[in-house]
């Protein structure tokens, strides 16, 4: 079989693979993109896009119920969940052309549908596929290979779980029936977002988390967000283990969970079960042993330049061992890997300014180090600064005063990390990511001209907290009094 020769072969057409393909194709090299499933991968079809579309619908329903404080008669919305499902699918369809085969072929890439597996260090065999791009069996020889196959949900080892009907993010958005009582295993961002969305759309919701919900986020802010969800009717059970799962009694369609809540045994029954407890890399079918690529239980092992141990083979996105699992990291990885694969290998991954957001209402955003890690690195040189949203005029006009901006910085103004609980925390996080990435100190943020009234002013105010003690110190007051005597 004569191999197809390419400069770069990208395996996987999710966020990471599409970004890498677009970048490389526009550099004029011969690029082959291989995808066995849907173009757009997890984010477009089963992750970020449908979840945010569902949250948007839920926010409208919530606003209708809570219009009274604005002088508008509140009404109970009539939720047509099948129509909500159709809205989600329309949003996916609207974005899909950007991730389509046609667009990437228009950029100059070749797109091949099928399963890819290594038969040598930079040789792959593609088989299967469907449609016009069907590849019955094709050998590929590539100068460089980028593995971008992503991750998939994993089931925790709980007695009976595998044998009962359950949802994951891969199947949740195929459901067009509103759950009567949605049980959610896992209190991470996915579980918490979907808890609020389904509760606002009319489901009874219970979240079960074996440790602390949103454990990677600031504990104070996470607690406030969970209190908001509880006030909306979500039941949150933290530090609770699920010991067994079984079908409901008398052949019902219900799901029964056996729980251990601090030694107390109890059972809870729901109509649907969403498992949102973790993910694992998609590597089993790649034949990585044939290429000699090193892996561990969390994924493909790479260095800071995203190189595997095999020359010319890179890995990016969720498939990378120990890497943060975010769509924006996938795109970030893509730029680094393509630069190193096709140009000079100088680019390195740096997560010091990493942002992430839980898109509830209010949103919870984090950038950079946690407060604990900042203090571990810099000890007493770390200072906590904060500004409450209730002191922000835009938050008052919108009746969205829950939350604050918390900044941990060194006394010289170097920003180390930020946590924001606010209505538009995700948008506010951009400034702080830039500040950490570019080495901007708090003085730059405190002295910027911010439009009024905006939530973003809270960031400026938080930065200014560093300078208040000096600005309004007894010495400063004496200097002002001295100058006040000048003619």
CATH number of the domain that residue 266 is part of: 3.50.50.60
The answer to whether residue 192 sits within a structural domain is yes
Same domain (yes/no): 181, 142: no
In a domain, 62, yes or no: no
pLDDT value at residue 250: 59
pLDDT value of residue 252: 64
* Gap between the Cα atoms of 112 and 131, Å rounded: 10
CATH of the domain at 362: 3.30.390.30
Give the structural domain span for 211: 161-278
* pLDDT at site 88: 98
Is residue 232 within 8 A of residue 200, CB to CB? The reply is yes
The 10s digit of each residue's pLDDT in 88-123 is 999 999 999 999 999 999 999 999 999 999 999 999
Give the end of a domain, one of 278, 312, 328. Answer: 278
Question: For residue 100, what are its two tokens?
Answer: 């389509």
Note the pLDDT of residue 441: 96
Does one domain contain both 310 and 236? no
- Same domain? 200 vs 109: no
d(CA 435, CA 457): 15
In a domain, 88, yes or no: no
Pairing of strands 181-185, 204-208: parallel
Establish if 284 belongs to a structural domain: yes
Cβ atoms of 107 and 26 closer than 8 Å: yes
Please indicate, yes or no, whether residues 383 and 463 belong to a single structural domain of this protein: yes
Same domain, 378 and 319: no
- The answer as to whether 72 is a domain residue is no
Q: Domain check: are 169 and 224 in the same one?
A: yes
| Number of domains, the chain | 3
What is the per-residue pLDDT for 133? 47
Residues 8 and 140 in one domain: yes
pLDDT (tens place) for every residue of the chain, 487 residues total: 788 999 999 999 999 999 999 999 999 999 999 999 999 999 999 999 999 999 999 999 999 999 999 999 999 999 999 999 999 999 999 999 999 999 999 999 999 999 999 999 999 999 985 444 444 789 999 999 999 999 999 999 999 999 999 999 999 999 999 999 999 999 999 999 999 999 999 999 999 999 999 999 999 999 999 999 999 999 999 999 999 999 987 556 799 999 999 999 999 999 999 999 989 999 999 999 999 999 999 999 999 999 999 999 999 999 999 999 999 999 999 999 999 999 999 999 999 999 999 999 999 999 999 999 999 999 999 999 999 999 999 999 999 999 999 999 999 999 999 999 999 999 999 999 999 999 999 999 999 999 999 999 999 999 999 988 777 777 766 776 777 777 7
Residues 271 and 287 both lie in one domain: no
**Same structural domain, 300 and 372:** no
Shared domain for 428 and 361, answered yes or no, is yes
DSSP element (H, E) containing 332: helix 327-342
Instruction: Judge if 249 and 209 occupy the same domain.
Output: yes
Please indicate, yes or no, if residue 87 is contained in any of the structural domains. Answer: no
Nearest Cα neighbor of 35 from 50, 51, 15 is: 15
Q: Would you state the pLDDT for residue 474?
A: 76
In a domain, 79, yes or no: no
What confidence score (pLDDT) does residue 476 get? 65
Q: How many other C-beta atoms lie within 10 A of the C-beta of residue 444?
A: 15
In a domain, 83, yes or no: no
**Is residue 288 located within the same domain as residue 360?**
no
């Amino acid at each position: 079989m004569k191999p197809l020769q390419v400069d770069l072969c990208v395996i996987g057409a999710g966020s990471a693979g599409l970004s890498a393909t677009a970048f490389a194709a526009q550099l004029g090299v011969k690029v082959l993109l291989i995808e066995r499933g849907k173009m757009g991968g997890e984010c477009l079809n089963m992750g970020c896009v449908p979840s945010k579309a569902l949250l948007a619908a839920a926010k409208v329903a919530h606003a209708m119920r809570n219009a009274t404080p604005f002088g508008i008669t509140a009404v109970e919305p009539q939720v047509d969940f099948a129509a909500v499902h159709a809205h989600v699918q329309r949003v996916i369809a609207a974005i899909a052309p950007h991730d389509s085969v046609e667009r990437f072929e228009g950029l100059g890439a070749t797109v091949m549908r099928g399963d890819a597996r290594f038969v040598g260090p930079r040789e792959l065999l593609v088989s299967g596929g469907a449609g016009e791009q069907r590849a019955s069996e094709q050998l590929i020889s590539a100068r460089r290979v980028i593995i971008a196959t992503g991750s998939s949900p994993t089931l925790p080892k709980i007695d009976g779980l595998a044998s009962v009907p359950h949802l994951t993010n891969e199947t949740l958005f195929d459901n067009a029936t509103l759950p009567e009582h949605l049980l959610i295993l896992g209190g991470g961002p996915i579980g918490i977002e979907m808890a609020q969305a389904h509760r606002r759309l009319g489901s009874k919701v219970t979240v079960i988390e074996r440790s602390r919900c949103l454990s990677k986020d600031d504990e104070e802010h996470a607690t406030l967000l969970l209190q908001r969800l509880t006030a909306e009717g979500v039941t949150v059970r933290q530090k609770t283990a699920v010991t067994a799962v079984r079908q409901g009694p008398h052949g019902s369609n219900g799901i029964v969970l056996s729980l251990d809540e601090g030694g107390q045994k109890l059972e809870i029954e729901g109509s649907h079960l969403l498992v949102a407890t973790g993910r694992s890399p998609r590597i089993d079918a790649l034949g990585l042993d044939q290429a000699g690529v090193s892996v561990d239980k969390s994924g493909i092992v790479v260095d800071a330049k995203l190189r595997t141990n095999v020359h010319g083979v890179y890995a990016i996105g969720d498939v990378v061992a120990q890497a943060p699992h975010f769509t924006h990291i996938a795109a970030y990885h893509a730029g680094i890997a393509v630069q190193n694969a096709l140009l000079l290998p100088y680019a390195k991954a740096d997560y010091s300014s990493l942002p992430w957001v839980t898109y509830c209402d209010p949103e919870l955003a984090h950038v950079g180090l946690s407060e604990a890690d900042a203090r571990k690195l810099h000890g007493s040189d770390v200072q906590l600064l904060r500004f409450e949203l209730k002191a922000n005029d835009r938050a008052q006009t919108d009746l969205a005063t829950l939350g604050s901006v918390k900044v941990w910085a060194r006394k010289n103004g170097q920003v180390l990390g930020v946590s924001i609980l606010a209505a538009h925390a995700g948008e506010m996080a951009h400034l702080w990511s830039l500040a950490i990435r570019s080495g901007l100190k708090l003085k730059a943020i405190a002295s910027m001209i911010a439009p009024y009234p905006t939530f973003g002013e809270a960031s400026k105010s938080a930065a200014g907290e560093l300078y208040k003690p000096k600005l309004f110190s007894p010495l400063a007051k004496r200097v002002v009094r001295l100058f006040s005597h000048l003619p």
